[in-house]
Amino acid sequence: MTAQPAFYFNRAIVRRPARSVTDGLRAVDRGAPSYEGVAAEHDAYVAALEAAGVAVEILPPLEAFPDSVFVEDPALVFSEGAVLLRPGATSRAGEAAALAPSLRAHFDTVIELPGPGFADGGDILTMPGEVMIGLSARTDRAGAEALTACLKRLGRKAQIVETPQGVLHFKTDCSLLDGETILATARLAKSGAFERYQTVIVPEGEEAAANALRVNDAVFVGADFPRTIDRLDSLGFRVVPLATGKIGKIDAGLSCMSLRWRSA
């Protein structure tokens, strides 16, 4: 198991949003985001990754897959290799195959998650000493167990945990802040999954801020969450606020738009 900090990244893969992103999946319809609005948020996100010291490969849009801008879900990447996942939403099933060529170009080891289960990258939180796999509507027990076996091949230990009812992905409600600290919603922290870690709880009413993203010395946080930003700032984190109002309409946050790893 690597002791390398889980937030030191020098490489990332992103995919430009397709015009069909306006049809992206959502649990509650609060109106479709405009394509231009999503594209602007995506551009700013890529610029923030680059400013944080990450070399970003930008893949072309895939019109057939409205949610394909959220590359985090069909794959999982580490310095030591990648796993092609089996997304739990039918409309996203083909996204893993579309990512495969890029992953094979970057990694010597690319493991395909065996069926019949499902697992989405949004349910996976990589900590320095373990990988937490959240069960959700997108990641079932069979998928989580198959993924545990794949992770073992990569020398990584997994722990299967629960995602609160009604929450899309495990990481919808949490993110890593540093090697021992997790930003989480109160409802997820209550589940006991983080007993071995310190937690920073997002203020009530800012639950969507929990999907932040630590990248090197920066923490990307949704710009619409001033109380979370103040809290992290006062704890000494270097906060980079980024707009998420448009992708938020299709249930996405800041981890979803990239696959990140440290390459030697």
For β-strands 55-59 and 75-78, DSSP reports them as unpaired
174 counts as binding ligand CIR under rule CB under 6 A: no
CA distance 71 to 103: 11
Active site residue 169: yes
Part of the chain binding ligand CIR (CB under 6 A), chosen from 54-62, 194-202, 227-235, 253-261: 253-261
Distance of CA 171 to the CA centre of its chain: 6
118 counts as binding ligand CIR under rule CB under 6 A: no
Interface with ligand CIR (CB under 6 A), residue from 41, 72, 95, 173: 72
Active site residue 174: no
Q: How far is the CB of 89 from ligand CIR (least distance, A)?
A: 5
Cβ contacts of residue 192 below 8 Å, gap of 6+? none
For 22, list phi and psi in degrees, rounded to 5: -65, -20
Q: How far is the CB of 256 from ligand CIR (least distance, A)?
A: 3
Part of the chain binding ligand CIR (CB under 6 A), chosen from 31-39, 45-53, 69-77, 155-163: 69-77
Strands (E), 60-180: 75-78, 81-84, 110-112, 124-126, 131-135, 158-162, 174-178
Helix/strand/coil (H, E, C) string of 206-225? Answer: CHHHHCCEEECCEEEEECCC
Q: How far is the CB of 74 from ligand CIR (least distance, A)?
A: 10
The answer to whether 118 and 143 have CB atoms below 8 angstroms apart is yes
Q: How far is the CB of 169 from ligand CIR (least distance, A)?
A: 4
- Which residue has the closest beta carbon to ligand CIR? 122
Interface with ligand CIR (CB under 6 A), residue from 169, 231, 249, 260: 169
138 token code pair = 């997108």
The answer to whether 158 and 148 have CB atoms below 8 angstroms apart is yes
Interface with ligand CIR (CB under 6 A), residue from 256, 258, 259, 262: 256
Q: How far is the CB of 33 from ligand CIR (least distance, A)?
A: 10
Q: What are the residues binding ligand CIR (CB under 6 A)?
A: 24-26, 67, 70, 72-73, 89, 92, 122, 169, 171-172, 250-253, 255-256
